[in-house]
Structure formats: structure tokens, C-alpha cells
Amino acid sequence: MKKTCKFLRRRTSRAIRKRRGDAELLALGRQFDAALAELLSLQIRDADAIGGVEAFLACMEPIERAILAIPADSMAGVAVKARVAAHVVSNYWDVPLDRLDMDARAFRILVEAVCSVAGASLPFPLGPGMAGLC
């Protein structure tokens, strides 16, 4: 009986929780996408400007942190969070899936599945032979 009560309380608290919607998260996602486009442009314009790229990445960090801190209430919100997480550890897509450690492989498969279900792309182009689920 004790387990049932605990389950019902948890279920009720989830039902009562107000859904805010993901307006703020989706707006931050658009800012993130714009920053990614600018980053790609910077990398194309001056491939040797590592300092400039690193400085730009540092400027993106507050947006990334805000996205990761806000709870998602929809699949679109979860996709925004997954794309940011993929960007943060984009090196997981630099090698074939079968050469990754189990934790990196699990993370990459999860992010690709979320993006696939949400109809979202990864936040970077995949190199030849690196195509995953998305």
C-alpha cells in the first residue's frame, strides 16, 4: 500500500505542476541557432583565428547554461536542450560510434534519438561516415 500512495502522490504532483510552456526555452534556442550560424561564419572566414573562435564560444556559454537550466515542457524544448548538449560535447561526433566509450556512445545515441523524434538536426554538420540516427 505504501508504494501505491507514493506513486499516486508523485503522479498527482506532476499533474498539478503548472506547465509554463517552452516559450523562453524556444526563444533561447533561436538565439543559440543564430550564435551557431555566426560561429560557423567566423570559422569559415578565418579558420586560423582560434582565439576569436574561443572568445565567441565563451560568449555563447551564458545562452547554453540558460538553456540547460530551464526545464522543458515539450518535445521541442527537449530538442533545444539536446542540441545544446550535443554542441557542448561535439567531439563525440568526431569518431565513429563504435570507437566511443560506452558513456559517450549512450549520450550520442540518446541525443540523436531525441533530435530524430523531434524532427531537429544536430547543431553541426556530420563528416563523411559519421552519420548517426539524425
In a domain? residue 5 = no
In a domain? residue 92 = yes
In a domain? residue 7 = no
Highest average pLDDT, of 35-39, 102-106, 128-132, comes from 102-106
Pairwise CA distance, residues 102 & 99, whole Å: 9
DSSP state of 94: S
In a domain? residue 26 = yes
What's the whole-model pTM score? 0.78
In a domain? residue 30 = yes
Q: Each residue of 41-62: pLDDT tens digit?
A: 888 887 677 788 889 999 999 9
In a domain? residue 33 = yes
Domain that holds residue 57: 21-118
Report the number of distinct structural domains present in the chain: 1
For residue 105, count CB atoms less than 10 angstroms from its CB and return exposed for 0-12, middle for 13-18, buried for 19 or more.
middle
Under 8 Å between Cβ of 53 and 39? yes
In a domain? residue 85 = yes
Pairwise CA distance, residues 121 & 69, whole Å: 21
In a domain? residue 36 = yes
